[in-house]
Amino acid sequence: MQFTILLTDDSSPMRKVLKKTFKAAGYAESEFLEAADGKQGLEKLRNHRVDIVITDYTMPEMDGLEMIRAIKNDPALKHIPVVAVTTEGSSEIINRFMEQGAEGYIKKPFTPEQLRDLLVKILGVSDYDQDTDASDSDFDF
């Protein structure tokens, strides 16, 4: 199944890791858009049809929390699911993400399996699920 996925993180290696993890999780056919902060991310959202947003918390210009707030307050964007990927996973910060309308969160460090489970929950079936021979050992992460 093909999705358009927006990866918002100021760390270029982390965007590459997320992309690799998505591919390993069965979303290899998806299109990936990248943004280095919330401001760039919103720009991409307004110019592309996006199925899911993955966002970091701490970023320059506009952080992940402000970005989620902007998405969920925009009638044209609020239907897009948002997943927060954060190192600062205190309950208070997680609660703030969820209060703003995030559909899920994942704490770094994460395993590919943890991310895959969350994506399947939000996006539904992946190519990975359709491959009955696949096992966790197929992850080349």
For residue 118, give Cα distances in angstroms to 36, 66, 121.
23, 22, 5
Residue among 15 and 81 whose Cβ is closer to another protein: 15
Pick between residue 136 and residue 140 the one whose CB is nearest to another protein. Answer: 140
Interface residues toward another protein, by CB under 8 A: 10-14, 16-17, 20, 58, 60, 86-93, 107-111, 140-141
Q: By the 8 A CB rule, do 82 and 45 touch?
A: no
Closer residue to another protein in complex, CB, 26/81? 26
Beta strands 31-35 and 4-8: pairing type? Answer: parallel
Residue 23: CB minimum distance to another protein, A: 10
- Cβ distance to another protein smaller for residue 50 or 59: 59
Alpha-carbon distances, residue 105 vs 54, 75, 91, 95, 136 (angstroms): 9, 22, 11, 10, 21
For the record, the structure tokens of 76 come out as: 């044209």
